[in-house]
Chain A
Amino acid sequence: MRRGSPIRSTLITLLMLSPGLASFFGLFFYPMLVTIVRSLRPEGQQVGWTLQHYITFLREPRAREVIILTFVLSIASTLCSMLLSLPLCLVLRQKLRGHRFFRLTMLIPRVVPGLIGALGLLLLFGSRGWVNLFLMQVVPFINEPVRINYTVPGLILFYTWLYFPFTSVTTLSTLESLDPAIEEAASVSGANRWQVLRHVVIPLIMPGILAGSVLTFMAAFGAFSIPLVAGGNYRPLAVEIYRQIDFTPARWSAACARAMIMAALQVGFLTVYMRVLRRPVA
């Protein structure tokens, strides 16, 4: 058999890389560049450079609030998703009857468009929603509807609903990749169920869950449809950016500057997070 010449194989490699490279430059690098340039232009102009949009936003007293709110919502919902998925996945992995059904159900929040999910949640948790009707009927102290919609805890609840599948899928796969003998060895050694969980299972799946939670955090940080529909006065960064475009005339440069700040925060947070994760697990 004739081996391909080095030039030929290089050509083939380039050819195979080209779709990836094209989409990287066309769909990521170019829009990124446009956003950066735009954020540095005076509003509505194609020439000149200015840091005005960054300074204005960061000087606004609301800026800190918006950034803190964005972090609170995304971190809290990531934590809630982790706390929720661990017990659920521990049950699901035992492959009890109907576990397939629950595995599918778990993914519903990702299948339903966020906007429709948000509307549904608003109806469910509203003052005349089923949740409040139920609470008022059953819990003795609750005589009037609990305000859930348009509050921070309510938003965290909605976020958790939407982003929970990211965490539960990675948690389940991490759990299922765990060798059953590892746990059996612990229980033979004298550990009861709780001790096996605490000393063996959780330490071993934690790196996997934390790595998976990056995905949840990223998605929650950029959440748009849920806070837009269900956020009320609470506007995280993504909604804040959108609002700049909603003005007439649209403030594109201001929006781009905010987008750059959001990206920088996200990258910064991730860098720190990944560095912490990569520390050798003791």
Chain B
Amino acid sequence: MPGLRLENLSKRFGKTVAVDSLDLEIRDGEIMTLLGPSGCGKTTTLRCIAGLLTPDEGEIYLGDERVTDLPPERRGVGLVFQNYALWPHMTVYDNLAFGLQLRRVARAEIQRRVSEALAMVRLSGFEERYPRQLSGGQQQRVALARALVIEPKLLLLDEPLSNLDAQLREEMRFEIRELQKNLGITSVYVTHDQAEALVLSDRIAILHEGRLVQVGSPAEIYNRPGNRFVAGFIGLTSFVEGTIVRQDAAKGYVVVRTRDGLELCARSDVLQTGQEVTVAIRPEHIELYPEEPAVRPAETNFLSGRVLRGAYLGDVVDYRIQVGEWILRAHAGTGAILKPDQEVFLTIAPDRITLIAV
């Protein structure tokens, strides 16, 4: 049984198509991230799922139930907002109890469930505080507890960490992930932060201009981006364009030649000679050598280029290197820092290169 299914979901605002025939299935107990740049339709999708927006077309199924036309109060989902949206005139206790009181849960049961939920987010003893008396992180944990206390079938999170400072954000990622796993609650998490998506998701759905671009596990998305947009959006990537000129079917390698004569060997079982491709290379997969290595490693791409500039990032130096007419970004250790205009030699393992058919 799927936790949540979206069928052909579309939502327009005037002439703008915010979500364009989206099909997506979220498995029971899974946490899926909707990831994309702002304006990609991820928040609109989430709001349709919550019932705060009515889709123009398509259906939403929660478990086996069709909920497309249900108002939000009858969907039984929990929603965590970016700006917490706690009720400022209610104490923490009342914020959590509100949903239960509306459901006519008995008083003693409310007390038990509220204190359980607060314990879950490590805020026991904060019952009588008002939201304004809490820090941002604490407020967001209250918002999380408030969404969970009604024991929803589905937990929705709309960029819940983007108002928090970097350190807290990192902590909370794990906390949310752990809580979600412990409760086994089907969750949809909206973010534009790829690091967040990679850390907390079982699967990631990449959205671009209202359309679903790729769905997959974090590793799949990162290592096998389906198109140039995904490759460029997740992690740093340099792109080179060319055509496949040879293939070695036995070993599963192909050779791509660019228009300026650069040849790159990459692994691919599916692409054929003559196919135009975009070559995506991640900076951490490029090895840099200030001098020509005496022994060239076998079956690896060997290139030479010129350092354009380097940016010191602390753990690595981020170089831009001119190779032929292409600019590649490469990360190297901070041991020996290369200078601009210096000649440099690069190796890239064929397995590490992603080919995207144009």
Which residues of A approach B to under 8 Å, CB–CB?
Answer: 179, 181-182, 184-192, 195, 199-200, 203-204, 281-282
Contacts and interface: CB of A to CB of B under 8 A. Distances in A.
Given A181-B83, A199-B98, A187 B71 contact: yes
A245 B86 CA distance: 58
Contacts of B88: 182, 204
A77 B50 CA distance: 42
30 contacts: A179-B83, A181-B81, A181-B82, A181-B83, A181-B85, A182-B85, A182-B87, A182-B88, A184-B72, A184-B79, A185-B146, A186-B98, A187-B71, A187-B72, A188-B51, A188-B52, A188-B72, A188-B73, A188-B78, A188-B79, A189-B98, A189-B102, A189-B150, A190-B74, A190-B76, A190-B99, A190-B102, A195-B73, A200-B87, A204-B89
B112 interface: no
B50 A188 contact: yes
Contacts of A282: 89
Chain A contact residues, majority secondary structure: helix
A282 B94 CA distance: 11
Given A182-B87, A185-B87, A190-B76, 14 more contacts: A181-B82, A182-B88, A184-B79, A187-B51, A187-B71, A187-B72, A190-B102, A191-B73, A192-B71, A192-B73, A195-B102, A199-B98, A200-B87, A282-B89
B103 interface: yes
Interface of B: 50-52, 71-79, 81-83, 85-89, 98-99, 102-103, 143, 146, 150
A260 B207 CA distance: 70
A188 B98 contact: no
Contacts of B103: 190
Given A189-B146, A190-B73, A179 B102 contact: no
A279 B287 CA distance: 68
A188 B86 CA distance: 12
Contacts of A281: 89
Nearest to A281: B89
A235 B89 CA distance: 42
B157 to A, nearest CB: 12
Contacts of A186: 87, 98
B192 to A, nearest CB: 18
B162 to A, nearest CB: 14
Give chain B's interface secondary structure class. loop
A51 B170 CA distance: 75
A186 B86 CA distance: 9
B332 to A, nearest CB: 45
Contacts of B146: 185, 189
Nearest to A195: B102
A192 B74 CA distance: 9
A52 B143 CA distance: 66
Contacts of B83: 179, 181
Given A184-B52, A184-B72, A189 B99 contact: yes
B150 to A, nearest CB: 7
A179 B86 CA distance: 10
A114 B237 CA distance: 71
A187 B73 contact: yes
A190 B52 contact: no
B82 to A, nearest CB: 8
Contacts of A188: 50-52, 72-73, 75, 77-79
Contact of B81 (A185, A195, A199): A185
Residue picked from A182, A185, A189, most chain B C-beta under 10 Å: A189
A175 to B, nearest CB: 15
B85 A179 contact: yes
Contacts of B52: 184, 187-188
A181 B72 CA distance: 13
Give the interface centre of A185, A192, A195, A199 by most chain B CB atoms within 10 Å.
A185
Contact of A203 (B72, B78, B79, B89): B89
Nearest to B98: A189
B147 to A, nearest CB: 8
A180 to B, nearest CB: 9
Which of B77, B81, B85, B86 has the most chain A CB atoms closer than 10 A to its own CB? Answer: B85
A27 to B, nearest CB: 40
Nearest to A190: B102
Contacts of A185: 79, 81, 85-87, 143, 146
Contacts of A187: 51-52, 71-73
Q: Nearest 5 A-B pairs (CB), nearest first?
A: A181-B85, A189-B99, A185-B85, A190-B102, A188-B79
Contacts of B81: 181, 184-185
A186 B143 CA distance: 12
A188 B85 CA distance: 12
A148 B75 CA distance: 51
Contacts of B51: 187-188
A207 B75 CA distance: 32
A181 B52 CA distance: 10
Interface centre among B73, B75, B99 (most CB of A within 10 A): B73
A184 B73 CA distance: 9
Contacts of A182: 85, 87-88
